[in-house]
């Protein structure tokens, strides 16, 4: 029985899968780790700002700096600014509701960076915000902008607080360490995920490959069963099916047909005469020549075969050969009288293989021709029966094909075709 190898290169597949999963895992780690670092860094930054805003709000309320319309507003604002500048902030500025500055306090760090900070107009905002700045000297500062309200988020704005914090080296190191830790965790998780899914992917792929192979084996078994059914009706077609499918594959290889086209060509060549199942024995096995009516009936095997393979999904692609294997390059063939490149390429390839095998094979009514005799007939039919390009591809291998098939038994022909099936269906 024709078959394909059961485990062509599972180890090779496993290696390829391992390499691909490793590459994807590393790419994921390479992309996700920097993102995790950025997110962790941003989160640490926002946490620092949130703490500063919360603490500044608490101190401003403590000193009554929220109520900046009173007579002693400047005093209270200065007290609050001095306290804030000595704690969470290196620069603390407090403004009244009109944007006039009431107080300014700075540490030594604040004085060092003040000139490098972007200048801005009078404050006029209603929501807290912040800026993260890297100064020319490499220092990293966080600048917060907080509208002052009697009732948090709802009351009337009574003034503004702006603070600048120069992030100290220890805090920068801590934030960097936390961000790197998050990035490394994401990187490790990506690699562990790849390692975990590898055996799952291999097992699923092996199951899919096994099921696909079983389906393909059943298809090939069906193809061979149809071939045997034809051979039972017409003894001339048994080994002939194997030989012509092999010859057609050899020609197609010279023409560079892709794998899918090779599969269709092989199946179509093997089943080219499937329509003969419908021809009565009185015609199919008649020892002498056929009269006009019988010949017309015999020619219906083409359309009958087309209908048979057309009703089987996976044989659809074989239809080109089955339906057009008796068409001729000059349009004198049947059943549709197609000509030139309108004839499917697979059918044009098969026509050369079919006639060559018929001429070189022994039949009950004739002896096999010599190689030179057969090639003389094919050369004469080039441009009328046969596609010149197909013949150009066939000539260099014709002698080798003839020698390989000379005195070739049906079992030998079966093995030759099985080699091609292993190559293109495995």
Mean pLDDT lowest among 139-153, 219-233, 303-317: 219-233
* Higher-confidence position of 194 and 367: 367
**Number of residues assigned to the chain:** 426
Q: Rounded mean pLDDT of the chain?
A: 81
The whole-model pTM stands at 0.57
Q: How confident is the model over 291-311, as pLDDT tens digits?
A: 889 899 999 999 988 888 876
pLDDT of 218 reads 73
Each residue's pLDDT tens digit, 82-96: 888 877 789 989 888
- Judge whether 319 and 312 are in contact, CB under 8 Å: no
Q: Which of 217, 218, 224 is nearest to 267 (CA)?
A: 224
pLDDT at 400: 95
In the prediction, which pLDDT does 313 show? 66
At residue 45 the predicted structure's pLDDT band, cuts being 50, 70 and 90, is: low
SS (H, E, C) the chain: CCCCCCCCCHHHHHHHHHHHHHHHHHHHHHHHHHHHHHHHHHHHHHHHHHHHHHHHHHHHHHCCCCCCCCCCHHHHHHHHHHHHHCCCCCEEEEEECCCCEEEEEECHHHHHHHCCCCCCCCCCCCCCEEEEEECCCCCEEEEEEEEEECCCCCCCEEEEEEEEEECCHHHHHHHHHHHHHHHHHHHHHHHHHHHHHHHHHHHHHHHHHHHHHHHHHHHHHHHHHHHHHHHHHCHHHHHHHHHHHHHHHHHHHHHCCCHHHHHHHHHHHHCCCHHHHHCCHHHHCCCCCCCHHHHHHHHCHHHHHHHHHHCCHHHHHHHHHHHHCCCCCCCCCCCCCCCHHHCCHHHHHHHHHHHHHHHHCCECCECCCCHHHHHHHHHHHECCCECHHHHHHHHHHHHHHHHHHCCCCHHHHHHHHHHHHHHHHC
Does position 240 have pLDDT exceeding 60, yes or no? yes
Better-predicted residue by pLDDT, 40 or 279: 279
pLDDT at 231 over 80: no
Residue 359 burial (CB count, 10 A): 18
Rounded-to-integer distance, Cα 403 and Cα 419, Å: 17
Surface-to-core class of residue 7, CB atoms within 10 Å of its CB (0-12 exposed, 13-18 middle, 19+ buried): exposed
pLDDT of residue 314: 67
pLDDT(192) > 80: no
Decide which of 222 and 323 is more confident.
323
More confident residue, 210 or 131: 131
Give percent of the chain with pLDDT exceeding 90: 26
Q: Dump pLDDT digits (tens) for 144-165.
A: 888 887 655 566 788 888 888 8
For 343-370, what is the mean pLDDT? 90
Looking at residue 236, its pLDDT comes to 56
User: Helices 410-425 & 169-233, crossing angle to 10 degrees?
Assistant: 160
Is the Cβ–Cβ distance between 47 and 68 less than 8 Å?
Answer: no
Tokens linked to 289: 């020549």
- Cα-based angle 150, 153, 159 (whole degrees, multiple of 5): 50
Beta bridge partner(s), residue 157:
149
* Between residues 278 and 19, the one the model is more confident about: 278
Q: What is the mean pLDDT of residues 402-406?
A: 92
d(CA 49, CA 206): 54
- Please identify which residue in the block is written with the tokens 């500025």: 93
Q: How far is Cα 80 from Cα 103, in angstroms, rounded to an integer?
A: 9
Q: What is the pLDDT of residue 11?
A: 60
CA distance 318 to 310: 9
Per-residue pLDDT at 137? 86
pLDDT, one tens digit per residue, over 109-137 is 999 898 889 887 888 888 888 888 888 88
Strands of 91-96's sheet in order across? 101-106, 91-96, 157-166, 140-149, 129-134
Q: 317 vs 154, which has greater pLDDT?
A: 317
């Amino acid at each position: 029985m024709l078959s394909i190898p059961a485990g062509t290169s599972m180890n090779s597949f496993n290696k390829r899968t391992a390499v691909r999963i490793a590459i994807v895992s590393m790419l994921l780690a390479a992309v996700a780790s920097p993102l995790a670092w950025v997110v962790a860094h941003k989160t640490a930054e926002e946490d620092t700002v949130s703490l500063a805003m919360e603490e500044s709000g608490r101190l401003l309320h403590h000193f009554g700096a929220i109520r900046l319309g009173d007579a002693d507003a400047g005093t209270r604002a200065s007290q609050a600014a001095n306290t804030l500048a000595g704690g969470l902030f290196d620069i603390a500025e407090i403004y009244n509701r009109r944007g006039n500055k009431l107080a300014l306090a700075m540490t030594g760090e604040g004085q060092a960076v003040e000139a490098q900070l972007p200048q801005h107009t009078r404050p006029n905002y209603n929501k807290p915000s912040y800026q993260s700045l890297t100064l020319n000297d490499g220092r990293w500062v966080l600048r917060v902008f907080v509208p002052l309200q009697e009732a948090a988020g709802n009351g009337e704005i009574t003034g503004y607080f702006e603070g600048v914090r120069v992030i100290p080296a220890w805090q920068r190191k801590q934030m960097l360490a936390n961000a790197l830790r998050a990035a490394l965790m994401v990187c490790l998780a990506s690699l562990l995920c790849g390692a975990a899914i590898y055996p799952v992917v291999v097992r699923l792929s092996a199951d899919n490959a096994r099921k696909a192979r079983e389906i393909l084996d059943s298809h090939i078994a069906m193809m061979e069963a149809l071939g045997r059914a034809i051979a039972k009706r017409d003894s001339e077609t048994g080994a002939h099916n194997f030989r012509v499918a092999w010859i057609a594959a050899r020609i197609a290889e010279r023409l560079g047909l892709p794998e899918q086209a090779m599969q269709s060509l092989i199946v179509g060549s093997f089943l080219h005469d499937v329509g003969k199942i419908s021809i009565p024995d009185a015609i199919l096995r008649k020892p002498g020549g056929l009269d006009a009516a019988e010949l017309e009936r015999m020619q219906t095997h083409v359309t009958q075969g087309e209908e048979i393979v057309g009703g089987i999904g996976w044989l659809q692609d074989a239809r080109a050969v089955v339906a057009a294997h008796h068409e001729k390059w000059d349009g004198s063939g049947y059943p549709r009288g197609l000509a030139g490149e309108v004839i499917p390429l697979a059918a044009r390839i098969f026509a050369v293989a079919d006639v060559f095998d018929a001429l070189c094979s022994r039949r009950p009514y004739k002896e096999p021709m010599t190689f030179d005799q057969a090639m003389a007939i094919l050369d004469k039919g080039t441009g009328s029966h046969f596609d010149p390009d197909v013949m150009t591809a066939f000539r260099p291998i014709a002698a080798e094909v003839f020698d390989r098939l000379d005195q070739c038994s049906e079992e030998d022909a079966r093995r030759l075709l099985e080699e091609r099936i292993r190559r293109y269906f495995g």
